[in-house]
Amino acid sequence: MSPVTQRVALIGSGFIGQVHAASLAAHPGAQLALVCDIDASRAEALARRYGARAGQVNEAFSREDIDMVLIASSTPTHADFLAQAVRAGKAVYCEKPIDLSLAKARAVVESLLPLQVPVTVGFNRRFDRSHQQLKQHIQQGAIGAPELIQMACRASEMPSLDYLRASGGQMRDQAIHFFDLLRFLTGDEVESVGALGAALAQPALRELGDVDTSVLIMRLSRGALAQLDNTRRTAYGYDERISVVGSAGMIASEPQATRGATLYQQSGVTQPGLFPDWFSRVRDTYYAQLDAFLRQLGGETVADLPGLMDGLQAQAIAEAACESLASGRFVQVERLI
């Protein structure tokens, strides 16, 4: 727990903003002081729920009684709000991606790094307990050097078409979490990526140049190969899994069930079902990343926190994947770290 309570301004009171508001309200090292949103009535309702005050976005940067800004607004606003917050000397938790444009994200990050203000980017999957155990085993050498990584991110149901239009596409919105996880777990960088995709669940995505089903193959700089499959819709629940084959064995972070028991009867075997949606599966990771950031602000060294350069490099992989989808060719990933 941070020895100093961080007074936090939350920008964005939509679904993810509400998730973060609940985490801030529950954390002993944080005080939700201000809620800002383009929808003033929505901001007021969320602020009232947690005893905060609703206000204008500029207050998040100008008020001296604000220590930290949490950016959970629409993606196109992230980079500008991030820049304003850092230049005002506020610690920042910024949802991914930094911007829909890699060039703009890069320019913003390069301008902010010299200021040395604490920033974390919202790659909450790093804080999944199963994935963290997987990383620990890899670091301890339990499976030797990683050689083949298999990952799956299969959401249970399609988001709304309005959400998908503004999301930046499957690579920047969904797969980007696993581009970051691949770097996080292996301690290695992606050199090249090849991607195939289709709009099978929502054909209207074709008009947006987006896909809802994709398979990617990646080569890492130390020679390991990785595969990632994504879908926006399954018929059986939320399915997230990672396995790493090494020179001395394999370790896996398996899909997780909503209950632990398997029922055996004469008529057959009934196994536990998966979580019904992605949020049910990853809910706790939002609090875990916030807790880690607050502990860092309190002076603790926290190794797993993704920073600005992590956000930028994961986005570089996403951009290469988008280019591969469009061209049908393997694409080299720009190395930014």
For residue 199, the one-letter residue type is A
Tokens of 287: 């609090």
Residue 270: pLDDT band by 50, 70, 90 thresholds?
Answer: confident
Tokens of 255: 């899909």
List of residues 6+ apart from 31 with CB closer than 8 A: 5, 6, 7, 8, 24
Res 257: pLDDT:
75
Distance CA 171, CA 91 (A): 28
Distance CA 71, CA 88 (A): 14
Is the pLDDT at 264 greater than 60? The verdict is: yes
Tokens of 184: 């996080």
Average pLDDT, rounded, for the chain = 94
Distance CA 42, CA 319 (A): 33
If one compares 317 and 264, the residue with the highest pLDDT of the two is 317
How many angstroms from the chain centroid is the CA of residue 331? 23
Dump pLDDT digits (tens) for 272-306: 788 888 888 899 999 999 999 999 999 999 989 99
Res 3: pLDDT:
57
| Alpha-helical regions (H) of 267-334 | 278-297, 308-327
N- to C-terminal Cα separation, the chain? 31
Tokens of 120: 């974390």
Q: From the CB of residue 199, how many other CB atoms can be counted at a distance below 10 Å?
A: 18
Cα distances (angstroms) measured from residue 20 to each of 11, 13, 70, 71, 80: 10, 9, 8, 10, 20
Is the pLDDT at 1 greater than 70? The verdict is: no
What are the φ/ψ torsions at residue 97 (nearest 5 degrees)?
-75, 170
Which residue ranges form the domains of the chain, and what is each CATH number?
6-117 (3.40.50.720), 129-276+312-332 (3.30.360.10)
- What is the four-CA torsion angle of 282, 126, 331, 219, rounded to 10 degrees? -120
Residue 332: pLDDT band by 50, 70, 90 thresholds?
Answer: very high
> DSSP string of 118-165?
-EEE--GGGG-HHHHHHHHHHHTTTT-SEEEEEEEEE-SSPPPHHHHH
Is the pLDDT at 260 greater than 90? The verdict is: no
55: which strand partners?
36
Is the pLDDT at 166 greater than 80? The verdict is: yes
List of residues 6+ apart from 103 with CB closer than 8 A: none
Residue 259: pLDDT band by 50, 70, 90 thresholds?
Answer: low
Q: Is the dihedral of CA 147, 309, 216, 202 positive or negative?
A: positive
Q: Is the dihedral of CA 8, 79, 313, 158 positive or negative?
A: positive
CB 34 within 8 A of CB 63: yes
Res 108: pLDDT:
97
Dump pLDDT digits (tens) for 90-112: 999 999 999 999 999 999 999 99
Dump pLDDT digits (tens) for 194-245: 999 999 999 999 999 999 999 999 999 999 999 999 999 998 999 999 999 9
Dump pLDDT digits (tens) for 3-55: 579 999 999 999 999 999 999 999 999 999 999 999 999 999 999 999 999 99
Angle separating helix axes 176-186 and 129-139, nearest 10 degrees: 30
Is the pLDDT at 136 greater than 90? The verdict is: yes
Dump pLDDT digits (tens) for 69-87: 999 999 999 999 999 999 9
Res 2: pLDDT:
42
Mean pLDDT, range 125-152, rounded to an integer:
95
Res 45: pLDDT:
98
